[in-house]
Amino acid sequence: MSDGRIVFKKPSEDIDTVTSAVLEEREDAGAVDDAAISQNVVHNPYLTMSIQKQRNMLPISKHKNQVLYALQKYRTVVIVGETGCGKSTQVPQFLMEAGWCADKRVIGITQPRRVAAVTLATRVADEQLCRLGSKVGFVVRFGGVTSDDTVIQYMTDGILLREMSADPLLLKYSVIMVDEAHERSVNTDLLLALLRRLQKVRYDLRVIVSSATLDAAYFRQFFELNETSDESKNTAVILSVEGSTYPVEIFYVEQPVPDYIKAAMTTVLRIHTKESSGDILVFLTGMDEVEAFCKELIEYSKKLQNVDRLWVVPMYSGLTQREQLRAFDSTPFGQRKVVVATNIAETSVTIPGIAYVVDCGFVKMRIADPANGIESLMLVPVSQAAADQRAGRAGRLRAGKCFRMYPEAEYKKLLTATVPEIQRCHLAPVILQLKTLGVANVVKFHYLARPRVKALATGFDLLHALGAVDNEGALTNPLGLKMCTLPLPPMHAKVLLSSEQFGCSEEILTILAMMQIQEPFDIPKNARHNAELTKREFSVAEGDHLTLLNVYHSFIKNNKSQKWCNQVHVNFKGLCRAENIRQQLKAYLKKNGMKMVSCKGLIGETERVRRCLLCGFFTNVARYGHDGRFHTIYETTSYAVYKGSAMMYRDKMPKWVVFTDVLQNSIRDISEIDPDWIQEVAPNFYDFGTNREVAAARGADRTREYESLADLN
């Protein structure tokens, strides 16, 4: 390439020579980070050093020449670096300084989380002594800070996927670095597969796969698969960058424990009395477990005599940022901090100074039933990789200890790695996404991890029933094409696109936005009774969806006041997010040429809304049974009603409902429906008729459909 890029020689054995440009030391180093820290949960242990010193401290800086040499020679480079080695911040700067941004070409770095994209960009802009948004910028949903000068762009992986559907060749980029590839999220898996595909057309595009674990061999093999070029220009190179961690000693229980919470409690108390000082991190599986555990631990610590007190911050995503930040407070002298967390502490949040980890060995995971595609939250054993990740959290300060609440034999039986998300999620959104990007044969696509054919078939079934794909599996025009443009899963998208014909797009827009937030109500533990009463006042007999509409309307009527939210126990942060999402969706609808119409005050007002919901969620229909549970149409599953549902306020349960969210054994976000509507909105999905007719027709049809899938164009 003759663009004036500096050419690097293959590094000799002494790769310790660092040749980075010397920047002037600044006294206000980290000032921008302070702003970021106040917003996000981030910790920088080197905050007091000058920026250049901080950069040189990072293990990756020793490998600068190696990285540049590899990227010059190979089209794909896999960098394995432990967390904190500096790869996410330094590699893009190495590349820019080496001329990879000539002609304003951009180095793109993708992150699985928004916070990471923002903080990394802020940090790198600071290191480059430039304003955020000039040379260094970021893009996330609902905005970003970039300009024409931006050559290092941090973004969420979802953003790059969106960008690919607008510009399939990604011409503005010279290098794309997919960070945290080891997490194996749907987005990172798709990105890697798509980039590999793209490299066959764009020979000049460089891809960096950045991973924290030794899955590198797998990534390498993937990028080399079926390469015919004998020049082996595409060969990925593996660089191993050490982090700064200490060994962790693992302890197991001798016998399986019947109650891991009790076992964890005993273990924490034993660590406290028998082990030297050092903070403890306890991994449990859910918010309730965490809260109950904390409460009990505080009780114990009060009773302990002649022993220093335990200082207990629960940590899970439902907490506000302020509450989460408490886990970062330094431990008062003579006390011992115990952080009780969900798996948020596995990846999203790193708590410094942990010397002991207590691991319950389980995790709550969203898993789709391949037969019907319904996703629910299941309690499953962790994988060995996840258990090791948890244990590793004890070795960041000094040599640590990890106590597992299961015997060693059980550990050996665990899966070595967590099943990639793409193999356990509902595939309809994935299929839709691939179709948008011009992947004609989604069944034969070169996945990083191949999903089950049965799951693909279920995905196609749903898309077909929704009218998004035709009999050949191609996107329909205009419905399928429009569904692709919306930042919503297919069922939600269908509801939204149908809302105009039901005359209720304003209402549906609100309900869908509200469905995206986790919990509209904020019920404090000390005022539960009072909160329940106010919550009840928002409730609507027809169900949760109209209740959500009610809450949002009241929020707007009260000028989006935080004070009002606190008084009536409505989640202020959540409602603000819902408003944001609503605006974004509204903009998409306008772009699609849809009219905003409201059914307010019209005859059959709530019926329109519920019919419209059924239009997308007809798979999630259930009938009330004598056993007090709701049964799906083919009796494959039955569910209890979630205790927080507005349905609980009714004297009598409705006979038929549609639900839009499933927990492990219960359904929530439920609305009453009339079974006659089902045939109207989804005439082909269910078999209507006597049991015998149905059984005969169904078996034959479905089998044929699955068999033909492998040949879908």
Q: In the complex, what is the shortest distance from the CB of residue 208 to DNA, in angstroms, rounded to a whole number? A: 20
Give residues 89-118 in contact with DNA (rule: CB under 7 A): 112-115
Specify the stretch interacting with DNA by CB under 7 A; choose among 436-444, 454-462, 536-544, 659-667.
Answer: 659-667
Question: Measured from the CB atom, is 5 or 141 closer to DNA?
Answer: 141
Q: Which two tokens stand for residue 167?
A: 């510009």
Contact code string over 295-334 relative to DNA, x by CB under 7 A? ---------------------xxx----------------
Residue 642 sits in the site that holds DNA (CB under 7 A): yes
Give residues 430-469 in contact with DNA (rule: CB under 7 A): none
Q: Figure out which of the listed residues 563, 643, 652, 692 binds DNA, where binding follows CB under 7 A.
A: 643
Specify the stretch interacting with DNA by CB under 7 A; choose among 66-74, 167-175, 458-466, 483-491.
Answer: 483-491
Q: Figure out which of the listed residues 468, 666, 677, 681 binds DNA, where binding follows CB under 7 A.
A: 666
In 275-332, alpha helices (H): 287-303, 321-325
Q: Which two tokens stand for residue 196?
A: 């590999």
Residue 62 sits in the site that holds DNA (CB under 7 A): no
Q: What Cα–Cα distance (Å) separates residue 545 from each residue in 268, 424, 609, 670?
A: 43, 27, 9, 7
For strand 630-632 and strand 621-624, is the pairing parallel, antiparallel, or unpaired?
antiparallel
Q: For the purposes of burial, counting CB atoms within 10 Å of the CB of 216, is it exposed (0-12), middle (13-18) or buried (19 or more)?
A: buried
For strand 621-624 and strand 656-662, is the pairing parallel, antiparallel, or unpaired?
antiparallel
Q: For the purposes of burial, counting CB atoms within 10 Å of the CB of 248, is it exposed (0-12), middle (13-18) or buried (19 or more)?
A: buried
> CA-to-CA distance for 582 and 564, rounded, in angstroms?
21
> CA-to-CA distance for 469 and 658, rounded, in angstroms?
23
| R_g of the chain computed on alpha carbons | 27
Q: Identify which of 101, 100, 186 has the alpha carbon closest to the alpha carbon of residue 423.
A: 186
List CB contacts of 657: < 8 A, sequence separation 6 or more: 543, 621, 622, 624, 630, 647, 667, 670, 671, 672, 673
Q: Figure out which of the listed residues 238, 417, 663, 709 binds DNA, where binding follows CB under 7 A.
A: 663
Question: Measured from the CB atom, is 159 or 195 closer to DNA?
Answer: 159
Residue 159 sits in the site that holds DNA (CB under 7 A): yes
Specify the stretch interacting with DNA by CB under 7 A; choose among 96-104, 227-235, 397-405, 485-493.
Answer: 485-493
Q: Figure out which of the listed residues 71, 109, 120, 140 binds DNA, where binding follows CB under 7 A.
A: 140
Contact code string over 357-396 relative to DNA, x by CB under 7 A? ------xxxx----------x-------------------
> CA-to-CA distance for 691 and 346, rounded, in angstroms?
49
Q: In the complex, what is the shortest distance from the CB of residue 666 to DNA, in angstroms, rounded to a whole number? A: 5
Specify the stretch interacting with DNA by CB under 7 A; choose among 65-73, 190-198, 285-293, 599-607.
Answer: 285-293
Q: In the complex, what is the shortest distance from the CB of residue 367 to DNA, in angstroms, rounded to a whole number? A: 9
Residue 145 sits in the site that holds DNA (CB under 7 A): no
> Before 478, cis peptide (omega within 30)?
yes
Give residues 569-608 in contact with DNA (rule: CB under 7 A): none
Is there a contact between 6 and 98 (Cβ–Cβ < 8 Å)? yes
Specify the stretch interacting with DNA by CB under 7 A; choose among 74-82, 463-471, 610-618, 637-645.
Answer: 637-645
Is there a contact between 582 and 560 (Cβ–Cβ < 8 Å)? no
Q: Identify which of 174, 226, 166 has the alpha carbon closest to the alpha carbon of residue 196.
A: 226
Specify the stretch interacting with DNA by CB under 7 A; choose among 25-33, 156-164, 452-460, 562-570.
Answer: 156-164
Is there a contact between 244 and 256 (Cβ–Cβ < 8 Å)? no
Question: Measured from the CB atom, is 199 or 418 closer to DNA?
Answer: 418
Residue 344 sits in the site that holds DNA (CB under 7 A): yes
Question: Measured from the CB atom, is 58 or 483 closer to DNA?
Answer: 483
Q: Figure out which of the listed residues 286, 352, 381, 407 binds DNA, where binding follows CB under 7 A.
A: 286
Q: What is the layout of strands, in order, in the sheet containing 310-311?
A: 248-252, 400-404, 354-359, 279-283, 336-341, 310-311
Q: Figure out which of the listed residues 386, 488, 575, 578 binds DNA, where binding follows CB under 7 A.
A: 488
Q: What residues are paired with 283 via a beta bridge?
A: 341, 359
Q: Is 675 left (phi over 0), alpha (psi -120 to 50) or beta?
A: alpha
Residues in touch with DNA (CB under 7 A): 112-115, 140-141, 156, 158-159, 162, 185, 285-288, 316-318, 342-344, 348, 363-366, 377, 429, 487-489, 516, 518-519, 523, 528, 642-644, 663-666
